[in-house]
C-alpha cells in the first residue's frame, strides 16, 4: 500500500504534546488526522494559526498542511484512523493523583472490539494500561510515553535519546507497528511491558526533579559556607557517573510536568502501600526554593511593604509562554502577601500573565518594569535579558538591586553597571554584598 493509501494516524488532543506529535508525524510523511474538543482551537489550526509558542512548530505545520487535518469529530477520527495517539492532559486532581477523566472519555468512545491501536502518550500512573486493556479486550494497547521538553519539543521528537514502547505479549504486533513509525528517527528503541514503560516516564521526571532539588540544596549550603555552586556543579558534572545535565540551581522547577509527575509518583507509591520518602523532600525543597528570594529581598530592603519589585520572566522556562506551576506565580503571590507592589515582564507570556497574575502590572518592555523599582528578580532566563543596557536601567531604578534567580547574568557586568547583584548559591557583588 502506498503512503497516500494508508489509513491516517489519529491524534487525540491537540495540546502541546498532540500538536507537536501530529506535526512531526506529518513531517515524516504520514497522513494525520488530529481531533480536539475545543472548537476554537481546531478552527484556529485550520486557519493555520498556531495555538502554542514552540520553536519550529509553525514552519512544520505550514510545510505539512496537506497531510494534516484537524477536526472536533471523534467519529470521523475513529472511522478513518486505526492508530490513535492519545495526547490528552492528565492534570493533578485535588488529591495530587493524576486526573484520568480525559483518558477515560477517549476509552469510552472506543468500541470493545474495534480495530484500533491505542497509543498512550499521556502520562498515566503505572498500571493504567493494564486496566484499559481489561476494559477493552479487543483493542490493542501500546504505552509510548513522551519525553519532549517545551521549547525544544520539535527537535526532541525528531532526535530522541530513546523511544520507550510498552505492550503486553498479546499486543506485540501493534508495538512493532509503533516502533516502525519511530525507527527512522534513530534513538534507541526500548521495547518493554506496559507498566515498566509507564514507570520509565514517571521515574525519569522524578529523577530529574530530584537532581534539581539536590543542586538547589547544595546552592543553599554554598551560600552559608561561601562556596560558588556554579563551580561545584561544574566539578561534579565532569564525573561521567554524574554528568552535567540538570545541575543548574535556581528558584525551583515548574511547568506542567515535573511538579505533577513527582507528586503523582509519590501518591502512586503511597496508594500501593509504599512510602516514597525521598520525593517528599524533593517537593518541599522546591516549594521553599521559590520563597527564598523573598527573604533575600527583605535582607536588602527591610520591610517589603510598598516596595516596587520587578519580576523579569514569567514563563516556567524560556522559549515558552507556559506559566503552569511557574516560580513567578508563587513569587508574585508571596511578594504581594508581604505588601510589595509587583510589576512584571515576559517577552511572550504577557497574555497568560494578565490572567494569571491579578493585581500585577504587566509591562510591554523590561525597561518599563524596571523603571522606579526598588529591586528586580530575574525569574526566567530569557536570552534578551543579557542585552539590556543595565547601566542605563540602574539610573532609572529607585534601588539598583537584582536577585538573579537563574544565575544567568554576569556578576561583574552587573557590578560595573552599578547593581547590587546576588545569584543563587554564589557570592554576591555590589555595595551591599561585599
Ligand atoms: C520535562 C522533561 O524534561 C521532559 O523530558 C518531559 O517530556 C516533560 O517534562 C513532560 O513530562 O512532558 P519540561 O517540563 O518541558 O520537560 O521542562 P524542562 O526543560 O525539563 O524544565 C523543567 C523545569 O526545571 C523548569 O522550570 C526549569 O527551569 C527547571 N530546571 C531544569 C532547573 O531548575 N534546573 C535545571 O538544571 C534544569
Give Rg (Cα) of the chain: 24
pLDDT digits (tens, 9 = 90+) for 316-334: 999 888 999 999 999 999 9
Out of 258, 263, 323, 405, mutate this one to test ligand 1's pocket (max ligand atoms within 8 Å of CB): namely 258
| Ligand 1 near 150 CB (within 6 A) | yes
- Name the residue with the closest Cα to ligand 1, atom 3: 149
Question: Ligand 1 center to residue 17 CA distance, Å?
Answer: 14
d(CA 7, CA 226): 63
d(CA 303, CA 201): 44
The x, y and z cell numbers of residue 278, run together, are 525521598
| pLDDT exceeds cutoff 90 at 419 | yes
Write the CA distances from 245 to 28, 286, 338, 377, 386, integer angstroms: 29, 18, 35, 24, 22
| Ligand 1 near 157 CB (within 6 A) | no
The x, y and z cell numbers of residue 378, run together, are 530575574
Out of 155, 317, 380, 406, mutate this one to test ligand 1's pocket (max ligand atoms within 8 Å of CB): namely 317
- Write the CATH number of the domain with boundaries 9-192: 3.40.50.720
Question: Ligand 1 center to residue 374 CA distance, Å?
Answer: 31
Percentage, residues of the chain above pLDDT 70:
97
Out of 207, 257, 262, mutate this one to test ligand 1's pocket (max ligand atoms within 8 Å of CB): namely 257
Question: Ligand 1 center to residue 15 CA distance, Å?
Answer: 17
Q: Looking at residue 98, what DSSP letter applies?
A: B
Q: Name which of 37, 39, 27, 30 is nearest 10 in CA terms.
A: 30
Q: Determine how many CB atoms are found less than 10 A away from the CB of residue 97.
A: 17
Q: Determine how many CB atoms are found less than 10 A away from the CB of residue 82.
A: 17
| pLDDT exceeds cutoff 50 at 1 | no
With bands split at pLDDT 50, 70 and 90, how would you rate the model's confidence at 105? Answer: confident
d(CA 35, CA 384): 36
Q: Which residue has the higher pLDDT, 3 or 423?
A: 423
CA atoms lying within 13 Å on the CB side of residue 375: 29
Q: Which residues neighbour 35 within 8 Å (Cβ) at sequence distance 6 or greater?
A: 10, 11, 12, 13, 14, 42, 70, 71, 72, 73, 74, 76, 77
Write the CA distances from 278 to 201, 250, 252, 347, 384, integer angstroms: 18, 20, 17, 36, 37
Q: Which residues neighbour 372 within 8 Å (Cβ) at sequence distance 6 or greater?
A: 308, 396, 397, 398
Q: Looking at residue 429, what DSSP letter applies?
A: B
Q: Which residue has the higher pLDDT, 5 or 109?
A: 109
| pLDDT exceeds cutoff 50 at 70 | yes
Question: Ligand 1 center to residue 282 CA distance, Å?
Answer: 14
| Ligand 1 near 316 CB (within 6 A) | yes
| pLDDT exceeds cutoff 90 at 94 | no
Ligand 1 atom index nearest CA of 256? 14
d(CA 350, CA 313): 10
| Ligand 1 near 253 CB (within 6 A) | yes
| pLDDT exceeds cutoff 70 at 4 | no
Q: Which residue has the higher pLDDT, 406 or 92?
A: 406
Ligand 1 atom index nearest CA of 245? 36
Q: Has 257 been annotated as catalytic?
A: yes
| Ligand 1 near 294 CB (within 6 A) | no
CATH 3.40.50.720 intervals, the chain: 9-192, 194-434
Q: Name which of 244, 257, 216 is nearest 407 in CA terms.
A: 216
C-beta of residue 89 within 8 angstroms of C-beta of residue 122 = yes
Please state the rounded mean pLDDT for residues 236-244.
98
| pLDDT exceeds cutoff 60 at 24 | yes
Helix residue ranges per DSSP H, 47-118: 57-63, 74-80, 101-109
| pLDDT exceeds cutoff 90 at 428 | no
Question: So what's the architecture of 194-434 in CATH?
Answer: 3-Layer(aba) Sandwich (3.40)
Amino acid at each position: 500500500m502506498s503512503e497516500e493509501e494508508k489509513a491516517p494516524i489519529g491524534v487525540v488532543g491537540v495540546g502541546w504534546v498532540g500538536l507537536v506529535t501530529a506535526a512531526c508525524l506529518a513531517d515524516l510523511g504520514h497522513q494525520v488526522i488530529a481531533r480536539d474538543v475545543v472548537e476554537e482551537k481546531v478552527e484556529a489550526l485550520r486557519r493555520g494559526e498556531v495555538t502554542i509558542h514552540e520553536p519550529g512548530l509553525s514552519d512544520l505545520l505550514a510545510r505539512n498542511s496537506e497531510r494534516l487535518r484537524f477536526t472536533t469529530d471523534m467519529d470521523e477520527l475513529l472511522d478513518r484512523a486505526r492508530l490513535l495517539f492519545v495526547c490528552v492532559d492528565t492534570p493533578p486532581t485535588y488529591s495530587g493523583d493524576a486526573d484520568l477523566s480525559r483518558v477515560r472519555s477517549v476509552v469510552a468512545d472506543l468500541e470493545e472490539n474495534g480495530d484500533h491501536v491505542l497509543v498512550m502518550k499521556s502520562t498515566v500512573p503505572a498500571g493504567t494500561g493494564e486496566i484499559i486493556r481489561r476494559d477493552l479486550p479487543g483493542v490493542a494497547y501500546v504505552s509510548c510515553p513522551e519525553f519532549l521538553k517545551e521549547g525544544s519539543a520539535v527537535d526532541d521528537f525528531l532526535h530522541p535519546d530513546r523511544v520507550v514502547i510498552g505492550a503486553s505479549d498479546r499486543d506485540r504486533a501493534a508495538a512493532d507497528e509503533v516502533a516502525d513509525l519511530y525507527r527512522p528517527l534513530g534513538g534507541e528503541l526500548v521495547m518493554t511491558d506496559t507498566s515498566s514503560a509507564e514507570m520509565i516516564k514517571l521515574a525519569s521526571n522524578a529523577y530529574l526533579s530530584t537532581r534539581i532539588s539536590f543542586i538547589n540544596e547544595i546552592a543553599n549550603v554554598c551560600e552559608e559556607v561561601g562556596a560558588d555552586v556554579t563551580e561545584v556543579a561544574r566539578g561534579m558534572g565532569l564525573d561521567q557517573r554524574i554528568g552535567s545535565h540538570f545541575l543548574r540551581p535556581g528558584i525551583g522547577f515548574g511547568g506542567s510536568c515535573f511538579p505533577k509527575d513527582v507528586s503523582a509518583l509519590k501518591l502512586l507509591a503511597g496508594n500501593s502501600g509504599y512510602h516514597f520518602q525521598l520525593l517528599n523532600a524533593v517537593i518541599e525543597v522546591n516549594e521553599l526554593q521559590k520563597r527564598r528570594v523573598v527573604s533575600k529581598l527583605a535582607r536588602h530592603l527591610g520591610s517589603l511593604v510598598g516596595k516596587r519589585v520587578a519580576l523579569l520572566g514569567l514563563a516556567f522556562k524560556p522559549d515558552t509562554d507556559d506559566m503552569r506551576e511557574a516560580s513567578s506565580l508563587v513569587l508574585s503571590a508571596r511578594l504581594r502577601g508581604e505588601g510589595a507592589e509587583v510589576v512584571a515582564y515576559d517577552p511572550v507570556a504577557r497574555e497568560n500573565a494578565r490572567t494569571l497574575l491579578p493585581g500585577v502590572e504587566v509591562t510591554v518592555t523590561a525597561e518599563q518594569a524596571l523603571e522606579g523599582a526598588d529591586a528586580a528578580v530575574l525569574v526566567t532566563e530569557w536570552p534578551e535579558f543579557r542585552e539590556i543596557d543595565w547601566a542605563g536601567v540602574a539610573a532609572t531604578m529607585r534601588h539598583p538591586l537584582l536577585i538573579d534567580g537563574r544565575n544567568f547574568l554576569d556578576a561583574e557586568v552587573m557590578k560595573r553597571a552599578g547593581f547590587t547583584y546576588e545569584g543563587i548559591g554564589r557570592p554576591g557583588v555590589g555595595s551591599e554584598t561585599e
